[in-house]
Amino acid sequence: MVFRLCEEDALFTGDNILGHGTSVFEDLEVYLSTLEKMKYYFSGRAYPGHGAVIADGNVKITEYIKHRQQREDEVLQVLAYGSLTAERDLPSSPVNGEELRRWTPMELVKVIYRDVPVTLHAPASQGVFQILKKLEKEGKVVTGENDGEDRFMIVL
């Protein structure tokens, strides 16, 4: 939920946009749709539920959307190639010609967030899981269970 302050052309963003860090969400597709809608309600400041006031709310919303797209691209990259190495540096076949593997969200986190402290991997895995569920809805990945864990594989 957000509130518009017409007198300032501003928006109270709640937890959708924060003055620091990134938001936690339950459904990435809904969250991205909400961000897109928010951009059209104002062009001024954003008053987040946490953190400092954001001078240009639309710029921050665009940053959030780009950040989510970057993470989605990284997930697809690792699912297809097993690493974050640029595609142009890899052989034409995914995963160096090996059989595509199924990944858990935490396995993906260990590659994508390799430079992030391990203490942040659990929260990051929730975001990666949301990306995987979105990609599954879009038909870009399939899921299966192995040893009681959801595992995801890219659809080529």
Per-residue pLDDT, 21: 77
Per-residue pLDDT, 149: 87
- pLDDT tens for each residue of 95-117: 555 567 899 999 999 999 999 99
C-alpha closest to that of 68 among 104, 118, 34: 34
- Number of structural domains (the chain) is 1
Provide the strand spans (E) within the chain: 3-5, 10-14, 46-48, 141-146, 149-154
pLDDT at 141 over 90: yes
Alpha-carbon dihedral of residues 71, 73, 74, 80, nearest 10 degrees?
Answer: 150
Per-residue pLDDT, 6: 96
At 24, is the pLDDT very low, low, confident or very high (cuts 50, 70, 90)? confident
Q: CB-side exposure of 133: number of CA atoms within 13 Å? A: 13
Per-residue pLDDT, 93: 47
Segment 51-55 shows an average pLDDT of 95
What is the amino acid identity at position 145?
Answer: E
CA 26, distance to chain mean position in Å, is: 11
CATH of the domain at 90: 1.10.10.10
Per-residue pLDDT, 47: 96
Q: State pTM to two decimals.
A: 0.85
- pLDDT tens for each residue of 58-77: 999 999 999 999 999 999 99
Domain coverage including residue 85: 3-154
Per-residue pLDDT, 70: 96
Percent of the chain whose predicted confidence (pLDDT) is above 90: 76
Per-residue pLDDT, 55: 96
